[in-house]
A and B are shown apart, each in its own frame.
Chain A
Amino acid sequence: MRETPESLVVDPGLDETIKKLTPEKIQTVVEHVLTKENAARLKVYSDTCVHCGLCAEACQTYISRDKDPYYSPVAKVKNTLWELVKNKGRVPPESIRDMSRIVFTECAVCRRCSMYCPFGIDIAYLLLVVRRICSLLGVVPAYLQDTTNSHAATMNQMWVQQDEWIDTLQWQEEEAQAEIPSCRIPLEKEGAEVMYSVIAPEPKILAQLLGNISQIMTVAGIDWTMPATDGWDNSNMAMYSGDFEVMGRVERLHWETAARLKVKKVVMGECGHAFRGAVYDGPRWLGWKFPPIPMVHAIEFYYDLLKSGRIKVREKYKKSVTVQDPCNTVRGRGLGNKLRYVVNELCESFIDVDPRLEHNYCCMAGGGTINCGPPWKRSRMVSNRVKAEQIEATGADVVITPCHNCHSGIEDIVGFYKLKKHVKFISEIMVEVMEIPDSLKA
């Protein structure tokens, strides 16, 4: 491994943990993961890859770092998985440290590269296999591991206690009532049409979003509820840290909570990785083909509300806007056109990004990268210069990001590259421009 500014970053999650590793332990874990947990895909992908490098062009880290070959998707696989396979797991602890850095902080498992490899090799999956190995070895960036620990202990990502949770919901209910007196955040309402799911950053640092949704639900006349118990957060960083046991617990509790409340569907707030965990990774780990109850992402939910006229627009948003297509709901759910419909309905002037839809660049905050915390922020920023250029080229004033990771990631980029842009969720614009019927006004 060569020395880069990134390889010199200090992170106790990597530096301290490798001290406890022994060669035998590494070998056992690697063998277990490669032979017991993974079969066909790992084998076929390794045999099929023709080392053509055509996936390089897909990756924002490669493009942003002046096409440094070290950052192409296949190079990341070479530096991690190929090494482990070739040496049958006999690698020194220092190598595990480097591999952990690569797979956790230099790949956002955005899966863009799978669309550029002629064989459709799922490189993100291969790098997740390495994350799994690192997780079982305990070599995970400290901040990311902390979110996983939080999931394990509290079932949410940010150590939110149940009383804080209920308290925050009631506080935001009152905030919403200041706008529309009949607003509620109904807790534990059995048989409601919709259970609304959020992730822990909402009660913890972005509580106004809960007030916003209360207003939107009230105006649209939706029969909805939220749980008062654990099971409300499926943001699931464990899915990305490689702790699939905890991931499974989080998703199971989330779906069991929805089942207990006997709701018809779950609406996932503006978060991409929570959607991914609940709809794809969680069910698969639990042995279900698809989620037991339909889940609708906020983009689609808002689309339905606008299309059906349940939400009407009083006056469109004036500033020019562009969007960040979140990987997990656009590449991962095909919601790109619905997102554009929503944005055009709400805003006067929409300027599209290029490349767009499934081909959009990742925010480089997803896949747990932003959760690796401050030590890695600079690296993430350098890894996504192309995103800054792409946003700047639109000339828009506001970037709409219907995903928590994208939102924080784009805010970081706006700050780091000194772009004069604001970053907003859809719901923030929606409450500003929607028509509130007279019957609901005080």
Chain B
Amino acid sequence: MYDFSRGPLVWIAFGIFLIGSIYRIVSVIKLAKKDKVVLPYMTWKYGLRSILHWITPFGARNMRLRPAFTVMTYLFHLSLLLVPIFTLGHAILWRESWGIDLWALPNLLSKLMTFIVIIAGVIFVLRRIADPAVRFVTSAGDIVLVILVLAPFVTGLMAYYQLAAYQTILIIHIWTGALWLAIIPFTRIAHMLYFALTRAYMGCEFGYVRHSKDW
């Protein structure tokens, strides 16, 4: 079981993630060609201008209106991206499997970032319940998704601290991680793939077409 999980399962998850992502992006670009008013109005300059403003902390007014939430969202997303790739345990796997020598996060930092992901995730869920404007548009799926995203982080920590039978928890960790990776293109986590596209389009609508700004 462990061998399967460490080997083929991860390969399959990566495969689904990569092929799924490419499929989603290609089909969106194809569709965009049909939606005649999209591509002719897009330019690199205004697309990138908007993306830059929106990945810079406090680069948009809405981020300045809610500083605490902005900081939390940034740390959450940053940690969410960095920890799975650069955490020490994974860096070893990168080398063993592919011979890639990756820089690894210091242990303390990756622990801290894992905690950030979990705490921020819990706050996101609480916010969904507590803030009426968010609750109104929240579906059960949104909550399940956060739980799925958090699962590999929680199990990772549990494995690290050896809180349960090591082998079992490690297998659960790998399975939830693989699931997480594989569902990216097919759930709302796809916003990771689409962010640059929607942002660039709106940046051009505002900048190139309307001579104004969108942040």
Contact = CB atoms under 8 A, between A and B. Distances in A.
B137 A120 contact: no
A69 B135 contact: yes
A44 B40 contact: no
Interface residues of A, number: 48
Contact of B212 (A43, A53, A331): A331
Contact of B201 (A53, A120, A335, A358): A120
B54 A118 contact: yes
Interface string B107-139: 000000000000000000000000111111111
Nearest to B202: A120
A40 interface: yes
Interface string B23-54: 00000100110111110110000000010001
Nearest to B198: A119
Interface stretch (B80-88, B91-99, B187-195): B187-195
B156 interface: no
A371 B34 CA distance: 33
A57 B61 CA distance: 11
Nearest to B27: A43
Contacts of B201: 41, 120
A421 interface: no
Contacts of A38: 35
Interface in A332-361: 332-336, 355, 358-359
Given A51-B139, A53-B137, A284-B37, A334 B132 contact: no
Given A47-B194, A53-B137, A78-B137, A333 B203 contact: no
B188 A50 contact: yes
Contacts of A122: 202, 205
Nearest to B41: A289
Contacts, number: 131
Interface in A49-75: 49-54, 56-58, 62, 67, 69-70, 72, 74-75
Given A47-B190, A289-B40, A40 B139 contact: no
B209 A57 contact: no
A308 interface: no
A334 B210 contact: yes
Nearest to A357: B212
A358 B205 CA distance: 14
Contact of B132 (A67, A330, A358): A67
Interface string A118-139: 1111100000000000000000
Contacts of B194: 44, 47-48, 119
Residue among A47, A49, A331, A334 with max Cβ neighbours from chain B (10 Å)? A47
Interface of A: 38-41, 43-45, 47-54, 56-58, 62, 67, 69-70, 72, 74-75, 78, 114-116, 118-122, 280, 284, 287, 289, 330-336, 355, 358-359
Interface of B: 28, 31-32, 34-38, 40-41, 50, 54, 60-62, 65, 131-139, 142, 188, 190-191, 194-195, 197-199, 201-203, 205-206, 209-215
12 contacts: A38-B35, A39-B31, A40-B31, A47-B188, A47-B191, A53-B134, A57-B65, A69-B136, A116-B60, A333-B212, A334-B210, A334-B212
